[in-house]
Amino acid sequence: MPSAPPLLRLEAGDARLTIDPADGGRLASLVVAGHELLTGVGPGVTDHGCFVMAPWAGRIRDGVLRVDGVEHHLPTVRTHPHAGHGLVLDRPWEVLDATATTAALACALDGRWPWPGRVVAEVDLSEGALVQRLRLEATQAPFPGTLGWHPWFPRQLGSGEPLALQLDVGAMLRRDAAGIPDGTHVPVPDGPWDDCFVEVRWPVRLRWAGALSLMVHADTDALVVYDERTAALCVEPQTGPPDGPNTAPRMVTPDDPLAATTRWAWQVEAVA
């Protein structure tokens, strides 16, 4: 049995980033000025760090993807009947390149996806920011896809003030009884949320008063916020809403990959 690829450790200024290629290529840790900005709520593959969602982001209703009149059945998850968060978070990623401050990784889509393709992730750490770029590639036939990131941010840093979230969006997509957006735009209610927002005016601001602020920028059209846990919350830039490959398909072709970028910029208020 081949050995697991080693952890990648990047460092710039007071920021240290750890990437685990064996564990879905996820960001396992981001420490800034002594503060750990990534956490988890359990040992499951969807429960910790920051992982890539591809070839779809969020959920596919009932695990069924319909393309050109053909139904393709995707693996569903234990907790609900839908297919969740894509197919690359539970597979090892190949390290294409790595330096002291950058890394590039790739993961081929396996037989659970009906079409050949791969996902490429590039990470660039600097003294004040982390830039992540994703690319979803079709290597033969076109297919519909979405991309996204799923980070878990801690509610508290040490003994400081609890996390405050500020977002500026035009609307929320209403969820139906199955928990999937039905396409209807509604005013944003008070949380807690497990919801998709549109007309996002980036950045989203996360502030741990007395510690630091984190500004999440992205070039995506959608944002999912999940804040129903007491220990952590998720701010997830996505190129489309949950079930997007069915409801608003963006075709990925060999000549036209799907790309997305997110940038996390921080400002330290106090050193731990």
Segment 60-117, tens digit of pLDDT: 999 999 999 999 999 997 778 999 999 999 999 999 999 999 999 999 999 999 999 9
* Tens-place pLDDT, residues 153-163: 999 998 788 99
Q: Which residues 6+ apart lie within 8 Å of 209 measured at CB?
A: 160, 161, 164, 269
Residue recorded with tokens 């840790």: 29
Q: Which of 66, 260, 241, 247 is nearest to 169 (CA)?
A: 241
Euclidean distance between CA atoms 37 and 187, whole angstroms: 30
Percent of the chain predicted with pLDDT > 70: 98
Per-residue pLDDT tens digits for 205-254:
999 999 999 999 999 999 999 999 999 999 999 999 999 999 999 999 99
Report how far residue 231's alpha carbon sits from residue 162's, in angstroms, rounded to the nearest whole number: 10
Q: Which DSSP category does 77 fall into?
A: B
Q: Residue 160's pLDDT is what?
A: 80
Above 50 in pLDDT, residue 149? yes
pLDDT of residue 272: 46
The CB density around residue 179, as the number of other CB atoms within 10 Å, is: 14
Distances (CA, A) of 85 to 56, 122, 132, 243, 253: 6, 19, 18, 10, 21
Q: If you search the block for the tokens 């208020």, which residue do you land on?
A: 269
Fold entry, domain 8-268: Beta-galactosidase; Chain A, domain 5 (2.70.98)
Q: Letter for the amino acid at 153? A: F
Measured distance CA(209)–CA(128) in Å, rounded: 18
